[in-house]
Amino acid sequence: MSRPLLQVRGLAKRYGARIGCEGIDLDLYPGEVLCIAGESGSGKSTLLNTLAFQLQPDEGQIQYDLKDRGLTDLGTLTQAQLRELWRTDWGFVRQNPRDGLRMQVSAGANIGERLMAVGARHYGDIRGAAADWLARVEIPAERLDDAPKSFSGGMQQRLQIARNLVSRPRLVFMDEPTAGLDVSVQARFLDLLRGLAAELDLAVILVTHDLAVARLLAQRLIVMRHGRIVETGLTDQVLDDPQHPYTQLLVSSVLAA
């Protein structure tokens, strides 16, 4: 197997005496989609934000395969180096597009900004690439100059995907990206996401409480409870033959719904 893109050992994040997550070990490989599932309060968002180094870990180590340095302890990077990573080689798709987009500037500018972060300077090229990405996420090109606040929720979420993927990141963190979408647009959105992840060989760490989303998108699944990983494995295996009683309960409660 290839070298891991992200390697995590003994990770913990606490809020005072309360455990956010602890004892987390995981390896993520290039192009792999990993889903973090678990009930409300199990520590999914804490783990995601700590992995993305947007929350400072209290214990443990996160190593990332930086393009120019190989596996590097993220704790040794400066804030400027972390910001560079967030703007270029990583992406972050929020549950609420208002948190991941700049709502007042045009769709084209939302995409163009990320391109400028990776060095693009030519206005025509940036506009062309933005139009191309709008088409890839199924937004009509004539909406290029419109602000996302005039878009539907589904369009905003697709724009957030375009903004993140235009810089060709290798790793994208996603926090419940489908939770705010109507059921009627969820399936198409998931299809689009799955296609783009495969085409771009994108590694994704995705938080969801929806096991159907995990089944559709993720090769590997982590199940969390009380801040700890209680089960991990290939998604189909975990869902079809859960070993931990908590996972069994989680799977059977979905089947019963």
Binding site for ligand ATP (CB under 6 A): 15, 18, 20, 38, 40-46, 209
Q: Closer to ligand ATP at the Cβ: 46 or 157?
A: 46
Structure token digits, residue 125: 């090229």
The CA-to-CA distance between both ends of the chain, in Å, stands at 38
Q: Toward ligand ATP, which CB reaches closer, 45 or 63?
A: 45
Question: What are 250's two structure tokens?
Answer: 């989680």
Q: Which is closer to ligand ATP, CB of 127 or CB of 228?
A: 228
CB 207 to ligand ATP: min, Å: 7
Strand partners for 96: none
Which amino acid is present at 255? L
**Least CB distance to ligand ATP at residue 44 (A):** 4
Q: Cβ closer to ligand ATP: 109 or 214?
A: 214
* Sequence-distant contacts of 15-20: CB under 8 A, at least 24 apart: 19/43, 19/226, 19/227, 20/46, 20/47, 20/50, 20/55, 20/227
DSSP H helices, the chain, are 44-51, 79-87, 97-100, 107-117, 123-136, 153-165, 183-199, 211-217, 235-240, 245-256
Please report how close the Cβ of residue 209 comes to ligand ATP at its closest, in angstroms: 6
DSSP 3-state percent helix, strand, coil across the chain (nearest 5) = 45, 25, 30
Place of tokens 């996972």: 247
- Nearest residue (CB) to ligand ATP, 47 versus 196: 47
Type and span of the H or E element at 233: strand 228-234
Identity of the residue, 20 or 112, whose beta carbon is nearer to ligand ATP in the bound complex: 20
Min dist. Cβ of residue 179 to ligand ATP (A): 9
Minimum gap (Å) between residue 147 Cβ and ligand ATP: 28
Q: Exposed, middle or buried, 100 (CB in 10 Å: 0-12/13-18/19+)?
A: buried
Residue (51 or 130) nearer to ligand ATP, CB: 51
CB of 186 to ligand ATP, least distance (A): 17
With the CA atoms of 104, 160, 64 and 59 taken in that order, what torsion angle do they form, in degrees rounded to the nearest 10? Answer: 70
Let me know how many helices (H) and strands (E) the chain has, helices first: 10, 10
- Closest approach of ligand ATP to the CB of residue 172, in Å: 18
